[in-house]
Amino acid sequence: MSLRLNLSALTRGVLINRPRLWKSFTTRSSQDGSGDPPNAGSASGGGSTVNIPSRKIVTPLPPLSEPVENLQEVQYATVTPEQNTTHVTTLSNGLRVASESRFGQFCTIGVVIDSGARYEVAYPKGVSHFLEKLAFQSTENYPDKDNILKELERHGGICDCQSSRDTFIYAASVDSRGLESITRILADVVLRPSLQMDEIDIARQTILFELESLKMRPEQDLILTDMIHAAAYRENTLGFPKLCPEPNASVIDRNTLLSYLKLHHTPSRMVVAGVGVPHDDLVRYVEKYFVDTPATWETENTKTRGPSAADTSLALYTGGSKLEECEIPIYAAAGLPELAHVVIGLEGCSHRDPDFIPACVLNIMMGGGGSFSAGGPGKGMYTRLYTNVLNRFHWMYSATAFNHAYNDTGLFCIHASAPPSHVRGMVEVLTKELVTMATAPGEQELRRAKTQLQSMLLMNLEARPVVFEDIGRQVLSTGHRKRPEDFIREIEQIRSEDIMRFAKRLLSSKAAVAARGEIKGIPNIDDIQSGLGNGEGRLPNSKRLSLFR
């Protein structure tokens, strides 16, 4: 049985009844109790396509467009004055204890010491490098380093030791309930190390392997940092190498290390800092383990040799050059060419200097990085070394500004790399950029650099270990901690005149140059110094640089 449709009759019926059908379609019954207007939720009777919102209740929850009734007022967490205070206590033997409370279950505790490579004038260079490798080994109360690691593991902790040219840091992060245990470990590691012969031999082998591996790596940052400091502070303080020279590895022994520790790991040169710990508890434990118990070199009858007092010399900036002609390994997988590396430095300022904040802003403004860096303004893509160097000269593979600030001096420098055939051009580009620093920065450029510096400061201080290091270094240097808000305010007050004044101060100093790789075409330091004194930054007998060479 089939169903037959009379399409002609159906069409005729629709046309005849069209007005009635349309009225039925656009009319809504108001008997559903919704209280909506007749045309709510559908096209209006006039044929408009604009819908009228429905007021039909579809959920018992209150609408988001109206305030919620009987809701308690929100109570936001506030920072108390106690949380913004760094407590500092000086003990009877001159040891300083500094701490700051911080929310969280874990804490960071450590010892910051006025020690490092700059104080090795009367010792074989590399003592600090050895001590860094010997950290958290066996001690008087922990005969095996595994005992230390098990105790740290029991409290969910980690430990670390880092040395710089003027500071030595031992630190650990643990559960706050392990405060006494970790304070005892730190006291033993700093004051009562065993320094067994097999441990020293292992440290020696580790250092030799590290020195060998550095020569096999394309990255040259560590080696060039030592070289530029050696050029800038020739044969004094900060010019001494941080990395142990290979011939000295066999010379440094237990007596040498104990002699150095006796003069430099003294209470007056130390700060025990803690973040996230009660200050009174920290002081009590420090007195128990750092003050009441003597150090190894006070109880052992060892034959120590060396000076009778720690070196107090101020850093003397000399300028000069340190060049090394050699082959540098290449990035085989990346297909990059062999690169020559050049660093040009100028005398900067210490972190106590009034120009320290302008120096930091200028460093951010110069910025830089590698030619393969990815990212936007936050990655430094709008800094001068990107816009004026990496984006213009295709043969430049990297250009980065550094600002090294110490207690009594500073070093502002630019590190760049390019193929050996462009060594002279690279030096000319860097010289021109250093001279250009003395020109007035644009308003937007200055604003961007200040904002980026403020952002970096605050983001770094969100990490507890960074706060610990900040407290320890500041208290060691000045006796108190300067709050981040103070730095933010000082950064905000920097004007273009401050940047120009500091840049001119930089250019008035002697140049320091370090270079490594195939550098046969590098200009001599007198030509570089002449270019820095030239208003246009042009070296003698230099040609106009081509963007397409």
Greater pLDDT, 264 or 77? 264
308 within a domain of the structure (yes/no): no
1 within a domain of the structure (yes/no): no
3 within a domain of the structure (yes/no): no
Q: Are residues 253 and 151 in the same domain?
A: yes
Q: Are residues 261 and 346 in the same domain?
A: no
Greater pLDDT, 375 or 409? 409
Q: Are residues 97 and 192 in the same domain?
A: yes
Number of domains in the chain: 2
Q: Are residues 295 and 349 in the same domain?
A: no
Q: Which domain-ending residue is among 270, 299, 328?
A: 299
Q: What are phi and psi of 347, to 5 degrees?
A: -70, 120
pTM of the model as a whole: 0.84
User: Cβ(484)–Cβ(491) under 8 Å?
Assistant: no
Q: Are residues 209 and 252 in the same domain?
A: yes
465: exposed, middle or buried (C-beta count within 10 Å: 0-12, 13-18, 19+)? middle
349 within a domain of the structure (yes/no): yes
Q: Which domain-ending residue is among 264, 299, 334?
A: 299
Strand pairing of 87-90 and 96-100?
Answer: antiparallel
Look at residue 336 in the predicted model and tell me its pLDDT.
Answer: 74
Spatial separation of the C-alpha atoms in residues 359 and 355, rounded to whole Å: 6
Contacts of 236 (CB under 8 A, 6+ apart): 121, 313, 315, 316, 318
47 within a domain of the structure (yes/no): no
pLDDT 10s digits, 415-445: 999 999 999 999 999 999 999 999 999 999 9
Residue in the structure block whose two tokens are 């230099």: 542
Spatial separation of the C-alpha atoms in residues 160 and 113, rounded to whole Å: 14
Q: Are residues 461 and 490 in the same domain?
A: yes
**Whether pLDDT at 2 is above 70:** no
**Whether pLDDT at 379 is above 60:** no
Q: Are residues 179 and 281 in the same domain?
A: yes
Q: Are residues 381 and 260 in the same domain?
A: no
Spatial separation of the C-alpha atoms in residues 6 and 12, rounded to whole Å: 10
CATH code of residue 175: 3.30.830.10
Q: Are residues 295 and 346 in the same domain?
A: no
445 within a domain of the structure (yes/no): yes
Q: Which domain-ending residue is among 242, 268, 299?
A: 299
404 within a domain of the structure (yes/no): yes
371 within a domain of the structure (yes/no): yes
pLDDT 10s digits, 533-545: 988 889 987 776 5
Greater pLDDT, 39 or 298? 298
Residue 190 lies in domain: 86-299
Q: Are residues 360 and 211 in the same domain?
A: no
Q: Are residues 281 and 323 in the same domain?
A: no
pLDDT band at 313 (very low <50, low <70, confident <90, very high): very high
Q: Are residues 125 and 262 in the same domain?
A: yes
310: exposed, middle or buried (C-beta count within 10 Å: 0-12, 13-18, 19+)? middle
